[in-house]
Amino acid sequence: MLKYLCIDPLYYSLWYELIEDWVTISSDMLVIHFENFMTSRSTELRKIGQFLHLALDEVRLSCLDEVIVSHHKRSGRPEVPQDHFSTKVTDKFNAVIEKTQQLLVRHGHQALPVEKYRHYKSEGSDSP
């Protein structure tokens, strides 16, 4: 078994370019982060509703935070080790995350919730 997963460097630039296109081309866009949605579905759906000018049912929204949505995950799957990517690949991931973070903030969008990223290590940080 390979110790490190190999990632084509093209994926880094494609991911960033996709986000860059949406952020720089769109004049009316709402950015919702998956990690925030999973931890506070009702709050994030309120943001979507306000953005789309929709009236939302507060009773239904309050139920969303009580729903367990992890049932789709495979049981018995081993935890991914911290070092499943080489240092070189991890550094590239982190650099693209930093670049994306700056892009979003520069264009007035909510910053990435990097504190929720299990394997992210910001520049100058000793721990993920």
Give backbone dihedrals phi and psi of 85, rounded to 5 degrees, phi first. Answer: -110, 150
Q: What is the pTM of this model?
A: 0.72
What lies within 8 Å, CB to CB, of 7 at 6+ separation is 85, 89, 92
pLDDT score recorded for residue 6: 55
pLDDT score recorded for residue 55: 93
Tokens matching residue 90 = 């991890």
Helix H segments across the chain?
9-25, 34-39, 41-52, 58-64, 87-106
pLDDT score recorded for residue 2: 45
8 Å CB contact between 45 and 67: no
pLDDT score recorded for residue 107: 94
8 Å CB contact between 45 and 61: yes
Which CA distances in Å does 39 have to 29, 82, 86, 113, 128? 22, 22, 29, 11, 19
Q: Mean pLDDT in each 10-residue stretch from start to end of the chain (128 residues)?
A: 55 85 91 90 92 92 77 63 72 88 94 84 58
